[in-house]
């Protein structure tokens, strides 16, 4: 169903119970601790690891009030495994499931099944596709940043280093992911506004190796290319190595997204121009917090806001 969307910005640093106090919270928990599940993507990704650690630390603060069951896939794109995980959690009668979908469309059906079973469903990191939600007659909150806005900020910063007409390539994440689509759109917005020539958009599936391979092809196919805009830091690190292997370090700008720890040395020495901190830790905590509040206030899924926006911060090299 189409629901009027209401946005509220969650400010940084919140670790309050937000709904776990007061009469509604007490009534909801009299039969025992609430059961919350967190389903993530690749547990090999530093961004996902940061989410998992933050969620676990948050649960420790309120261990008497809710239990946290965590699941994660082996790779970024293992959608079948993630669907199985959610199905198992539905059968385990969780009170709420917070999920970072591997695929914005493919997860819609299992999420709808969870809602039908009376489980509060919330997404983080990657929202479900709006049209797919409408077709399934569901509305699922996305607790996370405005990826299009964030990618445009990175692109605007890059554009100040370029001149109109310069060639630029985009290495996006998984083309099926809404967050990848939005980051690509934001990069396109920035390049179009600055008069750059976009020579290609190719998927690197969030992966270092695939990002390096895509970057190598772009560098070979477009000898005059001046920048590679990458949808996450993993792919940016792959692009940096491709630029080095092509002997073009210093001649091709690379940007990332996520502000992982591993990208910071590359920012410091200029191999990566900029990235975007979308506060992985806060996303996980905010997502669990939204689910807890919904359960303790006994709210219906249809009453929850479709978008709950979280902060972003542009991160550039030390010399800037």
pLDDT tens, residue by residue, 122-141: 999 899 999 999 999 999 99
Percentage of the residues of the chain whose pLDDT score is greater than 70: 89
For residues 129 and 185, membership in a common domain is answered with no
In this structure, what CATH number is given to the domain that contains residue 112? Answer: 3.40.50.2300
For residues 160 and 264, membership in a common domain is answered with yes
171 occurs within a structural domain: yes
126 occurs within a structural domain: yes
For residues 244 and 260, membership in a common domain is answered with yes
193 occurs within a structural domain: yes
Please give the pLDDT value at position 308.
Answer: 93
Please give the pLDDT value at position 226.
Answer: 98
Percentage of the residues of the chain whose pLDDT score is greater than 90: 79
For residues 137 and 155, membership in a common domain is answered with no
* Total of domains in the chain: 2
Summarize pLDDT for 216-229 with one digit per residue, the tens: 999 999 999 999 99
Please give the pLDDT value at position 129.
Answer: 93
User: 151: domain range?
Assistant: 147-277
288 occurs within a structural domain: yes
For residues 203 and 289, membership in a common domain is answered with no
Please give the pLDDT value at position 32.
Answer: 65
Q: How far from 274 is each of 51, 149, 241, 313, CA to CA, in Å?
A: 22, 15, 16, 11
| Mean pLDDT of all residues belonging to the chain | 88
Please give the pLDDT value at position 27.
Answer: 31
User: What is the spatial distance between Cα 126 and Cα 101, in angstroms, rounded to a whole number?
Assistant: 6
For residues 124 and 235, membership in a common domain is answered with no
Summarize pLDDT for 203-218 with one digit per residue, the tens: 999 999 999 999 999 9
For residues 107 and 197, membership in a common domain is answered with no
Summarize pLDDT for 166-197 with one digit per residue, the tens: 999 999 998 888 899 999 999 999 999 999 99
Summarize pLDDT for 266-276 with one digit per residue, the tens: 999 999 999 99
13 occurs within a structural domain: no
For residues 54 and 86, membership in a common domain is answered with yes
For residues 165 and 255, membership in a common domain is answered with yes
15 occurs within a structural domain: no
Please give the pLDDT value at position 318.
Answer: 56
Summarize pLDDT for 15-52 with one digit per residue, the tens: 332 222 222 233 333 346 899 999 999 888 888 999 99
Please state the rounded mean pLDDT for residues 252-271: 95
For residues 108 and 63, membership in a common domain is answered with yes
63 occurs within a structural domain: yes
16 occurs within a structural domain: no
For residues 29 and 140, membership in a common domain is answered with yes
For residues 271 and 283, membership in a common domain is answered with no
């Amino acid at each position: 169903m189409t629901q009027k969307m209401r946005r509220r910005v969650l400010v940084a640093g919140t670790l309050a119970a937000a709904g776990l106090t007061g009469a509604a919270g007490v009534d909801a928990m009299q039969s025992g601790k609430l059961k919350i599940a967190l389903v993530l993507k690749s547990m090999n990704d530093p961004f996902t690891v940061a989410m998992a650690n933050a969620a676990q630390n948050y649960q420790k603060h309120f261990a008497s009030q809710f239990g946290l069951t965590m699941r994660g896939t082996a790779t970024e794109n293992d959608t079948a495994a993630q669907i199985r995980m959610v199905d198992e959690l539905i059968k385990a009668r969780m009170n709420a499931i917070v999920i970072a979908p591997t695929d914005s469309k493919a997860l819609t059906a299992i999420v709808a099944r969870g809602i039908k079973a009376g489980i509060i469903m919330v997404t983080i990191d990657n929202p479900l596709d709006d049209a797919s939600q409408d077709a399934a007659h569901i509305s699922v909150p996305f607790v996370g940043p405005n990826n299009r806005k964030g990618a445009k900020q990175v692109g605007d910063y890059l554009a100040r280093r370029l001149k109109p007409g310069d060639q630029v390539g985009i290495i996006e994440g998984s083309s099926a992911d809404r967050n990848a689509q939005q980051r690509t759109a934001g990069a396109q917005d920035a390049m179009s506004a600055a008069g750059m020539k976009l020579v290609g958009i190719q998927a690197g599936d969030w992966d270092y190796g695939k990002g390096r391979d895509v970057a190598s092809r772009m560098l070979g196919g477009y000898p005059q290319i001046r920048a590679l805009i990458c949808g996450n830091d993993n792919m940016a690190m792959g692009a940096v190595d491709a630029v080095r292997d092509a002997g073009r370090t210093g001649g091709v700008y690379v940007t990332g997204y996520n502000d992982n720890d591993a990208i910071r040395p590359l920012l410091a020495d200029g191999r990566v121009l900029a990235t975007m901190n979308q506060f992985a830790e806060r996303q996980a905590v905010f997502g669990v917090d939204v689910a807890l509040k919904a359960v303790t206030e006994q709210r219906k899924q249809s009453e929850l806001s479709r978008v709950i926006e979280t902060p972003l911060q542009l991160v550039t090299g030390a010399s800037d």
